[in-house]
A and B are shown apart, each in its own frame.
Chain A
């Protein structure tokens, strides 16, 4: 049967393959090549070795500054979102009324787009700060915590749904047995619940880490990097390097390659580490 199927390659694979080549593979390869050249329109590219990579760090300190900002943001968001989402998921497994209603409410922000989310929170945060004579762009600290709050608001419901599914999959007889053996709540949580939901933890960490690092729309709408690019995350810095003035396209592409490598290494390292824990348990 495999032989007959093989002849149908053009029908089954070609449309996806062609789209994948055009939208991803060719641009990706071009992107890597162009990061070693100076160019404005692609066709005028001239080879310049690693100079774009050097310039990404030496032209100004915006790239390093945005990287550091992004790392701080990601660490706080990943920990905060996962702890709160997991705690909420545990609440949902108790016999409380109206859990469906709460689940609906908590998940909803995740469906709203990043641009819209950014402007919603801009109004709220500016409304509060206005009373003290400030706005979100008067101090980078406000923008930072604004982004952290926004990210929590958006992702907690999503992660909670995944954790609930994980907790519900734990066989009830294990929990019963633990209770019969006299295990207290903390023991059950750390010895049974958390090890059993390791697959959920793996995926939730993966989603929150990658989404935190790649954040763009929310950043653009909430502060657009203001004041003075101090609340600019890596994705926005790369975008501005490309498009805010001509002559820096090569540097922008080099930054993009570095960004890709950082995200890939962190994501794969995290998957490797948490997957190993899954096997042990």
Chain B
């Protein structure tokens, strides 16, 4: 009986907590339909009468920030960076586990080391290097993301590959497969759960990343975070209406991604932590 009562109390507590979590997003959503001048003064009222402006904030915001193309670049950079990271860092991790020598162990520790280095340490020199090597475009930045994502990704793949028995790979070799065929036909399919985790962790980072793309390609190509920040710095006072609309548009892809991949995302995050 006491247990039941306690559970009810906890349940109510969770509801209050959940409401507090949803509240900020709900406020932004409501304000995206409000006239821009009433947003900073009274963000907690519903839009009635003159205050309701329909979709005009969205139209204004999309026009001023170039949101459509920002969405396109964000999608392009995220998808191809993730593909590159999955293909190349998993192969690299397999090589590191299977070929034990001084070089592979130095490479492994250098990669792990890179995970704790703050971005500010390399931001200036990295954007210079990218500039000199003509990597300051949406294709070049994929190479940079491969380099920055390599630490976590190789670390996670090696953790899993160590548990893969050698026997199946040897069997494939006896059947006449070269290492490349063995890797893609036998090893990679086994890595799939880890690959999903790596893909999710890197998507969460690359899709939302602001400073790296801003420094490397920001003057010519805007991703979504750059477009949102541009609204602030672009001209004198901030158009709060357009800002609210852009925040909503930035959150929608994330929510869609989350609702479709929720099972994998939560599992992936938990699995990623266990390996760490």
With contact pairs A42-B125, A102-B14, A199-B274 given, residues A217 and B211 touching in the complex (Cβ less than 8 Å): yes
User: B43 touching A5 by the CB < 8 A rule?
Assistant: no
Q: Can you list 13 A-B pairs, Cβ within 8 angstroms, ordered by A?
A: A6-B99, A8-B180, A15-B146, A17-B107, A23-B126, A24-B117, A96-B10, A103-B266, A106-B17, A114-B225, A123-B40, A221-B232, A256-B124
User: A95 touching B40 by the CB < 8 A rule?
Assistant: no
Cα separation A22 to B148 with both chains bound (whole Å) = 10
With contact pairs A16-B154, A216-B211 given, residues A239 and B24 touching in the complex (Cβ less than 8 Å): no
Cα separation A264 to B121 with both chains bound (whole Å) = 12
| B48 close to A (CB within 8 Å) | no
Looking at the assembled complex, report how far the CB atom of A247 sits from the nearest CB atom of chain B, in whole angstroms.
Answer: 14
B 52-86 binary contact with A (CB < 8 Å = 1; else 0): 00000000000000000000000000000000100
State how many residues of chain A have any CB contact under 8 Å with chain B: 94
User: A203 touching B147 by the CB < 8 A rule?
Assistant: no
With contact pairs A6-B99, A113-B210 given, residues A16 and B150 touching in the complex (Cβ less than 8 Å): yes
| B191 close to A (CB within 8 Å) | no
| B37 close to A (CB within 8 Å) | no
| A51 close to B (CB within 8 Å) | no
Cα separation A108 to B125 with both chains bound (whole Å) = 34
How many contacts between A and B, using CB within 8 angstroms? 283
**Residues of chain B at the chain A interface (Cβ within 8 Å):** 7, 10-11, 13-14, 17-18, 21-25, 27-28, 31, 39-44, 84, 88-89, 91-92, 94-96, 98-100, 107, 110-111, 114, 116-126, 128-130, 133, 135, 143-148, 150-151, 154, 166, 169-170, 173, 178-180, 183, 204, 207-211, 224-225, 228-229, 232, 240, 243-244, 247, 250-251, 254-255, 257-258, 262, 265-266, 269-270, 273-274, 276
| A198 close to B (CB within 8 Å) | no
* Given A105-B22, A112-B251; 13 other pairs, CB 8 A cutoff: A1-B98, A12-B95, A16-B91, A16-B146, A19-B88, A24-B148, A42-B125, A102-B17, A124-B24, A161-B269, A210-B116, A259-B118, A267-B116
Closest to B211 in A: A216
User: B43 touching A124 by the CB < 8 A rule?
Assistant: yes
Looking at the assembled complex, report how far the CB atom of A135 sits from the nearest CB atom of chain B, in whole angstroms.
Answer: 8
| A55 close to B (CB within 8 Å) | no
User: B98 touching A5 by the CB < 8 A rule?
Assistant: yes
Q: What chain A residues lie within 8 Å of B183 (beta carbons)?
A: 12
Most B CB contacts (10 A, CB to CB) among A21, A34, A120, A200 go to: A120
User: B31 touching A23 by the CB < 8 A rule?
Assistant: no
| A153 close to B (CB within 8 Å) | yes
User: B125 touching A27 by the CB < 8 A rule?
Assistant: yes
**Residues of chain A at the chain B interface (Cβ within 8 Å):** 1-2, 4-6, 8-9, 11-13, 15-28, 30-31, 34, 42, 88, 91, 94-97, 101-116, 119-121, 123-124, 126-127, 130, 153, 157-158, 161-162, 164-165, 199-200, 203-204, 206-207, 210, 213-214, 216-217, 220-221, 234-235, 238-239, 242, 249, 252-253, 256-257, 259-260, 263-264, 267-268
